[in-house]
Amino acid sequence: MPESDEIAPRVRIVSWNIHGAARPDLHDLARVLSDFDADIIGLQEVRRHQAKRLSRLLGMHCIWTFKHNGYSRLLPRFAEGLAIISRWSLDHDGDAELSDGRPRNDFRRRVATWATVDHPDGRFVVANTHLASHDLADERQRQSTKLATLVNDGFPCHHHVSHGPLATVITGDLNDHDEPDVVATIAGSHLKDAWVAAIARSRNGSTNPSAVPHQRLDHVLIPHGWTSHEVRVPDPTPEWEARSDHLPVFVIAQMRSK
């Protein structure tokens, strides 16, 4: 018999495109993320040293995956990628290119990365991605279809070892304003948009541009068996505009009871 909702654990999830090329103040970002009391953080447009520094400031675990480097392989510090930061230990199980053969120096190259989180009440997968920009709708749809295939396949491990079906959380900048088919394709029958399913939410979910947000590009998808209790997007202020051109999405989700 399932435990009550009061006993089932809650997980605090953040998705945020931090525009790492603009060299944001990492101490300020760490303070904001600490204020959220985030358990799982998916970052897009983040450089490796930025992700590692943030995880150290937060005292959390981190993986980082390369997306592209538009400068030079001789300047690895400028490479941009994706990060997953977790309160609990995590295994970097895999990553995959979603774009169609873009070179590694092309900013239009797109990837997904995923890890298994060792939550004390049950392991689950977190995947993070950043889909094609707004003017490439056909390419974005192809990428969402590839990501949906990974969801349906259970996000296989690097070593092709099956860990059985695990609940999956997806964070990402999907660049999908007014394109509901993107989320619908990725979610399929396994996941749901935490914003749409939320019991409580702030504002209208728009995250971009941070100065005058009118596009909902940033998402957290959670398993159908989880409850989306609350989703927050901060009110736009000069402080948030200085941090990134995107606002973060903050989700409080309740895991399925044992």
Q: Give the pLDDT score at 165.
A: 78
Distance CA 236, CA 219 (A): 17
Q: Give the pLDDT score at 161.
A: 56
What's the DSSP call for residue 59? Answer: T
Judged by DSSP in three states, 239 sits in: helix
Distance CA 209, CA 23 (A): 17
Q: Give the pLDDT score at 3.
A: 44
pTM exceeding the 0.85 threshold for the entire prediction: yes
Judged by DSSP in three states, 186 sits in: helix
Question: What residues contact 234, with CB distance under 8 A and at least 6 apart?
Answer: 240, 247, 248
Beta bridge partners of 43: 16, 83
Distance CA 235, CA 241 (A): 10
* CA distances to 36, 109, 129, 169, 226 from 222, in Å: 18, 25, 14, 5, 7
Per-residue pLDDT of the chain (258 residues; tens, 9 = 90+): 344 445 789 999 999 999 999 999 999 999 999 999 999 999 999 999 999 999 999 999 999 999 999 887 768 889 999 999 999 999 999 999 999 989 999 999 999 999 999 999 999 999 999 999 978 899 999 999 999 999 999 888 765 555 567 999 999 999 999 999 999 999 999 999 999 999 999 889 999 999 999 999 999 999 999 999 999 999 999 999 999 999 999 999 999 854
The length of the chain is 258
Question: Exposure of 80 by Cβ count < 10 A (0-12 exposed, 13-18 middle, 19+ buried)?
Answer: buried
Distance CA 252, CA 55 (A): 20
Q: Give the pLDDT score at 159.
A: 57
Identify the H or E element spanning 9.
Answer: none
* CA distances to 89, 107, 180 from 124, in Å: 11, 30, 26
Beta bridge partners of 83: 43, 64
Token pair of 156 as six digits? 């296989």
How many C-beta atoms lie closer than 10 Å to residue 237's C-beta? 12
Is 216 within 8 Å of 189 (Cβ atoms)? no
Helix locations, 74-192, DSSP H: 137-152, 180-187
Q: Give the pLDDT score at 163.
A: 58
Q: Give the chain's domains with CATH numbers.
A: 10-254 (3.60.10.10)
Report the sign of the C-alpha dihedral through residues 52, 191, 195, 147, in that order: positive
**Crossing angle of the two packed helices 180-187 and 137-152, in degrees rounded to 10:** 20
